[in-house]
A and B are shown apart, each in its own frame.
With several copies, the nearest count.
Chain A
């Protein structure tokens, strides 16, 4: 149920290359003067990991080509049904990344800030538990360790099962 006069711009890229957040923000808002709010999240590779704060020298992101695109496209559609968005864009990288490198970007645009904030947060929480990516971290000895899923991520996603205040649809 979109409150926008024109259809929301939906866009997804699953890629090895880095991305330019500034350029992505401009592309999603150019000429859309109904947009009053832009929310953006970027996930970066951290140099430490896990409960023991082990040092990470690199990370390789494996993914399931095809399923990734299918799951993330469905997620973008869900967000656009639940909130009145003008635009929604996800970029997720795969391959070998170094600390400080960008992994993922979500941008949502809307007339008002609540829809932009909530949908961006929703997309990140869902993406964390539904997009088929797996992180292999390398320590200083070049030893690879598969990152374990975090229970907090399941809890964070489950929060959205309740209808949001701005959710107009009835289940």
Chain B
């Protein structure tokens, strides 16, 4: 599983990507993944502190917290978009 970070999520975590070997243990949904990531160090816990400010995409489509993850998914975490 590939996890991408953008905007201040990226700069707070301090990198643009994590490459995992499948899903972490016990992680089934987007919400599970965010909980797991919060325990991966200071940058992660700070970036994911305010959960309502985080948006998630699975395989480049927006996903809700209860969406189910698969081993080979490309997951992305980022703030609400501000393009246009």
> Which residues of A from 16 to 30 have beta carbons under 8 Å from B?
none
**Which of under 10, 10 to 19, 20 to 34, or 35 or more describes the interface residues of B?**
10 to 19
Is A128 engaged at the interface, CB distance under 8 Å to the other chain?
A: yes
Closest to A69 in B: B60
Does B76 contact A104, Cβ atoms closer than 8 Å? no
Q: Choose one: B4, B6, B62; the contact of A134 (CB below 8 Å).
A: B6
**Which of under 10, 10 to 19, 20 to 34, or 35 or more describes the interface residues of A?**
20 to 34
Q: Choose one: B8, B62, B78; the contact of A130 (CB below 8 Å).
A: B62
Q: How far is the CA of A133 from the CA of B80 in the complex (A)?
A: 9
Does A131 contact B79, Cβ atoms closer than 8 Å? no
Does B83 contact A64, Cβ atoms closer than 8 Å? no
Is B61 engaged at the interface, CB distance under 8 Å to the other chain?
A: yes
In the complex where A62-B6, A64-B4 touch, is A132 in contact with B57 (Cβ < 8 A)? yes
| Chain B positions 22 through 41: 1 when the CB is less than 8 Å from some CB of chain A, otherwise 0 | 00000000000000000000
Which residues of B are at the interface with A, using a C-beta cutoff of 8 A? 4, 6-8, 57, 60-62, 76, 78-84
Which residues of A are at the interface with B, using a C-beta cutoff of 8 A? 43, 61-64, 66-67, 70-71, 92, 103-104, 113, 124, 127-136, 146-149
